C-alpha cells in the first residue's frame, strides 16, 4: 500500500506543478472495496471543478502506468475543514491555529485524552500547544484542526 501511495503522490505532484493547488495526502485503503483517495487544497479552498480536473488527469496517468494490481475507486477531494495533520508541512502551515490532539492514553495527572489548544510548535518528536504544553508524538494518536460550532 505504501508503494502505491508513494507512486500516486509523485504523479499528483507532477500534475499539480505550476498550479496554486497542493497535495495534502494520498490514501490507498481497503474498506469494502479498494479506495485510492487523493486530498488537495488551495488558497480559498477547493472547488468541484478542481477535483474533477485532477481526477480526469490522474485517471489517465494511472491507466497508462497500470501499476495498481487491484480494482479500486478513485476519489479526489478536499481534506475538509477538520483535516488531520500528518506531515511536517501540515504542522508548519497550520501554526497558530487551534487543534485537537487525541492521545492514546491520558497524560500523567490528567483524565483528558483530547487536548485542544493553539498549535505553536512541531519538531518531529513533539507537538507544542499554546507555547508551553509539549506532547511527545509517541503519545499522539491524531492531530486535527479544531472546529468550533
pLDDT at 32 over 90: yes
Query: What cell does 87 get?
Result: 506531515
Q: How far, in Å, CA of 81 to CA of 55, rounded?
A: 21
Helix (H) or strand (E) holding 53: helix 48-65
- Cβ-count burial 88-110 (b if 16+ within 10 Å, e if not): eebbeebeeeebebebeeeeeee
pTM (2 decimals)? 0.78
User: By the 8 A CB rule, do 26 and 37 touch?
Assistant: yes
- pLDDT greater than 90 at residue 107: no
Domains of the chain: 2-77 (3.30.300.70), 88-145 (2.30.30.100)
What pLDDT is stored for residue 14 in this prediction?
96
Amino acid at each position: 500500500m505504501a508503494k502505491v501511495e508513494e507512486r500516486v503522490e509523485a504523479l499528483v505532484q507532477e500534475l499539480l506543478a505550476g498550479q496554486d493547488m497542493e497535495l495534502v495526502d494520498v490514501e490507498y485503503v481497503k474498506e469494502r472495496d479498494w479506495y485510492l483517495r487523493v486530498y488537495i487544497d488551495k488558497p480559498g479552498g477547493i472547488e468541484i471543478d478542481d477535483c474533477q480536473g485532477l481526477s480526469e488527469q490522474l485517471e489517465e496517468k494511472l491507466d497508462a502506468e497500470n501499476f495498481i494490481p487491484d480494482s479500486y475507486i478513485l476519489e479526489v477531494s478536499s481534506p475538509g475543514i477538520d483535516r488531520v495533520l500528518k506531515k511536517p508541512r501540515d504542522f508548519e502551515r497550520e501554526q497558530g491555529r487551534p487543534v485537537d490532539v487525541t492521545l492514546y492514553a491520558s497524560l500523567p495527572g490528567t483524565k483528558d485524552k483530547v487536548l485542544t489548544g493553539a498549535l505553536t510548535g512541531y519538531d518531529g518528536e513533539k507537538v507544542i500547544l499554546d507555547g508551553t504544553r509539549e506532547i511527545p508524538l509517541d503519545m499522539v494518536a491524531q492531530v486535527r484542526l479544531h472546529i468550533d460550532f
